[in-house]
């Protein structure tokens, strides 16, 4: 029987009483349900092998192979995040949900610590369902049905500036062209709504002018900075943390170098994000027609009305 103890008032839980290398089906089902409910699960004293971590991930679903992050040479599904004073600067100190440049972003991520610094190197989380719940009803109504563009984030910018590696970016861009995801995502298992734009990959709100996109995105990208929706996880060696990318974002503070920190990660494929409503009707060029007798966003007749006014 596992014990699930909340880590805070809003989200996150510590799970004890199980060995993640040897889970029976009933315990796995409890953990899977616990992940949807608590959004982040922390397991201590899990001395599992890389193969066991990969096998655990596969029980949730097919594993994703990152086109950007460094992986083990034997197992491309196993991402190795190994940093010290001599390595390249880690790129994970930005709020994000994993790999939202994909049309089907990962549902969950399982991170296991191998070497942890004496201090620093925590991982921070923000519950985007809690962030959504805090919005005013007016803002929720405004956001309903909007979509946003997700690009390749920091990965793309760094590769674009490196003549030796720009071909990697070109290949990835062919495979993963820009994705358009709902701004408010309905969780496919819990039905809860979550803000689904992030500082790493989201470039603009679709279908509105540049100014409006920048203002709305700026507002939304500040919602995970609210202390009440955050959780900070301190690492011990042999700790496993799994998170639901559909409902949380995370940020890995870059505060421990030159100490060494080695983490291993598997990422579970997800489905196409579903939004909270149909897209809002287009308004041509942002111009709201007057004196047409038609309501904006009806059956499209207002588009003709705008053209008529332009003549």
Ligand X SMILES: O=C(O)CCC(=O)C(=O)O
Contact string (CB under 5 A) for Fe ion, positions 95-114, x = contact? ---x----------------
Strand order in the sheet with 147-150: 179-182, 147-150, 202-205
Q: How many angstroms separate the CA atoms of 56 and 220, rounded?
A: 34
User: Which of Fe ion, ligand X, none binds 111 (CB below 5-8 Å, type-dependent)?
Assistant: ligand X
Which of 38, 181, 250, 261 is an active site residue? 250
Q: How many angstroms separate the CA atoms of 95 and 128, rounded?
A: 11
Residue nearest to Fe ion (CB): 98
Both structure tokens of 99: 């790999």
Known active-site residue 84: no
Listed residue (15, 16, 2, 12) closest to 38, CA to CA: 12
Per CB under 6 A, residues contacting ligand X are 81, 92, 98, 109, 111, 123, 250, 252, 263, 265
Q: Which is nearer to Fe ion, 98 or 302 (CB)?
A: 98
Known active-site residue 96: yes
Q: Which is nearer to ligand X, 192 or 250 (CB)?
A: 250
Known active-site residue 180: no
Query: In angstroms, what is the minimal distance from the CB of 205 to Fe ion?
Result: 23
**Site for Fe ion contains 244 (CB under 5 A):** no
Which of 38, 112, 187, 265 is an active site residue? 265
Known active-site residue 181: no
Which of 96, 102, 192, 246 is an active site residue? 96
Both structure tokens of 289: 């027609």
Query: In angstroms, what is the minimal distance from the CB of 148 to Fe ion?
Result: 18
Residue written as token pair 């995502």: 185
Q: Which is nearer to Fe ion, 207 or 265 (CB)?
A: 265
Helices (H), the chain: 25-38, 50-60, 128-134, 137-143, 153-160, 166-175, 210-220, 301-310
Q: How many angstroms separate the CA atoms of 35 and 41, rounded?
A: 6
Query: Under the phi-then-psi rule, with left for phi > 0, alpha for psi from -120 to 50, and beta for the rest, what region is 153?
Result: left
Q: Which is nearer to ligand X, 134 or 234 (CB)?
A: 234
- Which residues carry out catalysis? 96, 98, 250, 265
């Amino acid at each position: 029987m596992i014990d699930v103890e909340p880590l805070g008032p809003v989200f996150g839980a510590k799970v004890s009483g199980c060995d993640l290398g040897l889970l029976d089906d009933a315990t796995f089902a409890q953990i899977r349900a616990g992940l949807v409910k608590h959004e982040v699960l922390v397991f201590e004293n899990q001395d599992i092998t890389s193969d066991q971590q990969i096998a655990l991930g596969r029980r949730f679903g097919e594993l994703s192979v990152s086109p950007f992050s460094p992986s083990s040479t034997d197992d491309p599904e196993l991402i190795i995040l190994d940093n010290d004073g001599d390595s390249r600067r880690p790129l994970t100190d930005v709020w994000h949900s994993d790999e939202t440049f994909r049309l089907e972003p990962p549902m969950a991520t399982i991170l296991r610590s191998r070497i942890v610094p004496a201090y620093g190197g925590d991982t921070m989380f923000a519950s985007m369902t809690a962030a959504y719940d805090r919005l005013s009803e007016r803002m929720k109504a405004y956001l309903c049905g909007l979509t946003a563009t997700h690009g390749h984030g920091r990965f793309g910018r760094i590769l674009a500036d490196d003549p030796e590696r720009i071909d990697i970016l070109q290949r990835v861009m062919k495979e993963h062209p820009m994705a358009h995801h709902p701004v408010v995502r309905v969780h496919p298992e819990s039905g809860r709504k979550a803000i689904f734009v992030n500082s790493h990959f989201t470039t603009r709100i679709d279908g509105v002018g540049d100014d409006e996109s920048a203002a709305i995105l700026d507002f939304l990208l500040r919602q995970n900075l609210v202390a009440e929706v955050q959780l900070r996880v301190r690492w011990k060696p042999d700790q496993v943390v799994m998170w639901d990318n559909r409902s949380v974002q995370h940020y890995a503070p870059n505060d421990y170098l030159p100490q060494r920190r080695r983490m291993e990660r598997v990422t579970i494929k997800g489905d196409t994000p579903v939004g909270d409503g149909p897209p809002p009707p287009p308004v041509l060029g942002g111009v709201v027609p007057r004196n047409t007798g038609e309501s904006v966003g009806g059956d499209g007749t207002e588009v003709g009305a705008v053209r008529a006014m332009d003549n």
